[in-house]
Structure 1
Amino acid sequence: MPFTPPDFPAIQAAILRDIANQLPDADTGADSDFAIRANATASAIEGLYQHQAWVVRQIFPDTADSDYLALHARTRGLSKKVGVPAAGTIQLTGQQTAAISGPLLAQTPDGRQYTITATGAIDATQAISLAAVAVVSGSAGNAAAGTPVTLTQPPPGVNAAATITSMVGGTDDETDADLLARLLDVIQRPPAGGNAQDYRRWALNVAGVTSAYVYPLRRGLGTCDVVITSAGGIPSAVTLAAAQAYIDSVRPVTAKSSLVLAPAPLPIDHVIQVAMPGGSQALALALIQPALAGYFASLPPGTPYVRSQVETIVSNLPGITDRLLVAPTANVVPATSPAVQWCQLGNLSVSLMS
């Protein structure tokens, strides 16, 4: 049976009751000396009870405060992962043979900044793609292909207007909840000499990795491959290399080969017709878009897309009384070899039934 610490009024009443029992003639009224002393004593005792309750919470990692959670994690060799900057490539244009040397700063219209770290020269197509990295760590640095950027100081012969071709892998600092999840995973599933769970845990210990999926024997006996994602998206080449190096350093020496790879996006376009009395096409799209995005976010790499589940999701949206999923016409089973495909939401077309 759990113990419930008494609160201030209960402690004060108990003190005054004991005084009255010992001194029946004592004045224990609200403005008496005994009441004043009881108030001060009860306040101190209540503070002690609260401190004891706080101490008990620190004993267990799932109720511990941030600092003590870090101490629990440290006993298992874990620590909070720091944020990782997004990395990728930016395409520059300009005059053929124009040289690009030294770091260049590029900025998006919304103020995100990237440093172009590679050097080169504009080729015969009057363009070149160079490696770049976000100035600030975090998922905010991730950007879609085609995002425009402007060079703050373009070299001679290079246009100031440029385009991001890839910018992925940025992750935020690990939260207490994520660190706790990794700690409980170690406690509940202790290291087992290199089983699938161990490979998953090793990958998740690397900064920049937010999800990991293990494929034992994917390339034959003695192999174990790990597909990783970053902040719900594709990891950067830097994160892939870091995860590969870490797993190679801790995996069993008897393992033949281990490969860390990024999933291959498999966009699935949708054409949906719905009946929505009193509603508009724009409202239907505003409801369906996030609902489908949530469904695809729940699909790990290599997991099939189930058409009937999407039909159910659309049918259950408020205001929609009927639906027709025109495309896709069947379930989609992603390949797991040679690449592990990852079902993603492609183009979405929503219209009202006539």
Structure 2
Amino acid sequence: MRTTDEIYQELLSAFRERSGYGAEDACDLAVRLYAVAAQVQALECQADWVLNQSFPQTAQGAYLEDHAAMRGIARQAATRAAGTLRFSVEEAPTQDLSIPMGSVCMTEGGMRFQTTRAAVLAAGTLTADVPAEALESGSGGNAAAWSITVLAVCPMGITGCTNPAAFSGGADAESDEALRARVLDSFERLPNGANAAFYEEQALRHQGVAAAVAVGRARGIGTVNVYIAKSSGAPDAALLRAVEADLQAKREIAVDVRVLAPEESRLNVTVELDVGENGNFAAVKSAAEQAIAGWLTGKLLGKPILLAELGRLIYAVGGVKNYHILSPSSDRQGSATTLYILGELRVTEMGA
């Protein structure tokens, strides 16, 4: 890409060759030539940008989505983290306490979560568990167990809240690089209506499907099992039925297709962090927990769980000087039938 000054010098040189005399820097002609050079440089920038958007290898944003649409691929939308909120009282009540749908609790960092149905803390009991989700979509909603402790919209009579298990499944909208990889993969693994790429691509077109792995001859000749996962884990029955109905309509003749949920396997993660003498361990711990929870999602179905990848993720967290992964102690092989989900997550300070 030529700079404005380079184009200006070329214009001056061309003028000198044709006229036999040059133009002084401060003269009117020089000013005009410099203005022309600036416009030519802007046109070259525009032409270069248009060229980049013309190919999926370099396109960005909405233009990359247009290339994806030509391959029948859409950008995966952001999803909300889901989990369970546990509401509590200090003394067992003599009558039922209502917990309305939409009751809000927060982490100390201000991330908000709301209940997705109404519930009751029964008389004579101290706690009630209620399904909930993050108020905002994205990986920021992934929260470690016991990290949600603030009642934002307090149901009458309720004095405490927490989350006995991690909130997971929150994922940011698919990045350009991830979408680009899927688009380019669709050229390398051309779906032909009968291969694994065809079944996986069709499954991934359904909203909520974060990963899909097709296994041929799973139950003998002429059979195909397609395992799918949501970002939050195994799919629900409704999603399984929708994907299977779609694939049944599109499968090749005489092929028996089944869409199945993988078996969930909880993976406990224990990490020690060194944040240095002046580091804020609480802040770094929270960021590390969020990064780990955002990584270990349903998108990893069929892919190996590599300690090297986990280590890279932890070391990329701002403030981490060093780390030590205590568990898992070894890599986990990827499998279409097994989905690793986050179990107990413990992040402690190294040397404490």
Q: TM-score normalised to the size of structure 2?
A: 0.67
CA radius of gyration, larger in: 1
Instruction: State whether residues 87 and 161 of structure 2, in contact with CA within 8 Å, keep that contact through their aligned partners in structure 1.
Output: yes
Matched with 1:130 is 130
Distance apart, 1:13 and its partner CA: 3.2
Structure 2: distance between partners of 1:242 and 1:172 = 23
Query: What's the CA shift string for 1:79-136, capped at 9, x where partnerless?
Result: 3332221222222345376153531423124222222232343356543322222221
Structure 1: distance between partners of 2:119 and 2:145 = 21
Structure 2: distance between partners of 1:304 and 1:20 = 66
Matched with 2:38 is 43
Matched with 2:105 is 107
Change in Cα spacing, 1:59 to 1:106, as seen in structure 2 (3 Å) is same
Change in Cα spacing, 1:9 to 1:195, as seen in structure 2 (3 Å) is same
Structure 2: distance between partners of 1:326 and 1:71 = 44
Distance apart, 1:261 and its partner CA: 3.5
Matched with 1:276 is none
Matched with 1:247 is 243
How many residues were matched structurally? 312
Change in Cα spacing, 1:260 to 1:97, as seen in structure 2 (3 Å) is farther
Matched with 2:181 is 181
Matched with 1:69 is 64
Structure 2: distance between partners of 1:51 and 1:192 = 38
Higher RCO (CA-CA < 8 Å; seq separation 6+): 2
Structure 1 residues 75-90: aligned runs within 5 Å: 75-90=70-85
Instruction: State whether residues 86 and 142 of structure 1, in contact with CA within 8 Å, keep that contact through their aligned partners in structure 2.
Output: yes
Query: What's the CA shift string for 1:180-199, capped at 9, x where partnerless?
Result: 22222223323232532234
Amino acid at match of 1:267: N
Query: Which deviates further from its counterpart, 49-58 or 342-351?
Result: 342-351
Matched with 2:259 is 258
Q: TM-score normalised to the size of structure 1?
A: 0.67
Structure 2: distance between partners of 1:140 and 1:19 = 59
Amino acid at match of 1:54: W
Matched with 1:283 is none
Change in Cα spacing, 1:143 to 1:8, as seen in structure 2 (3 Å) is closer
Matched with 2:15 is 19
Matched with 1:201 is 201
Distance apart, 1:259 and its partner CA: 0.9
Instruction: State whether residues 79 and 138 of structure 2, in contact with CA within 8 Å, keep that contact through their aligned partners in structure 1.
Output: yes
Query: What's the CA shift string for 1:169-215, capped at 9, x where partnerless?
Result: 11122222222222222233232325322343344445555444444
Change in Cα spacing, 1:100 to 1:341, as seen in structure 2 (3 Å) is same
Secondary structure of the structure 2 residue equivalent to 1:168 = coil
Query: Which deviates further from its counterpart, 71-80 or 205-214?
Result: 205-214
Query: What's the CA shift string for 1:34-60, capped at 9, x where partnerless?
Result: 433332332322222222222211211
Distance apart, 1:326 and its partner CA: 10
Matched with 2:160 is 161
Structure 1: distance between partners of 2:43 and 2:169 = 47
Structure 2: distance between partners of 1:99 and 1:326 = 42
Structure 2: distance between partners of 1:60 and 1:32 = 44
Instruction: State whether residues 83 and 207 of structure 1, in contact with CA within 8 Å, keep that contact through their aligned partners in structure 2.
Output: no
Amino acid at match of 2:135: V
Please, which runs of 5 or more residues in structure 1 have no aligned partner? 272-278, 281-285, 314-318
Amino acid at match of 1:263: E
Structure 2: distance between partners of 1:90 and 1:326 = 28
Query: What's the CA shift string for 1:278-329, capped at 9, x where partnerless?
Result: x99xxxxx9xxx8xx79x969955778899x99xx9xxxxx99xx9x99999
Distance apart, 1:248 and its partner CA: 2.1
Structure 2: distance between partners of 1:332 and 1:51 = 47
Please, which runs of 5 or more residues in structure 2 have no aligned partner? 250-254, 278-283, 313-320
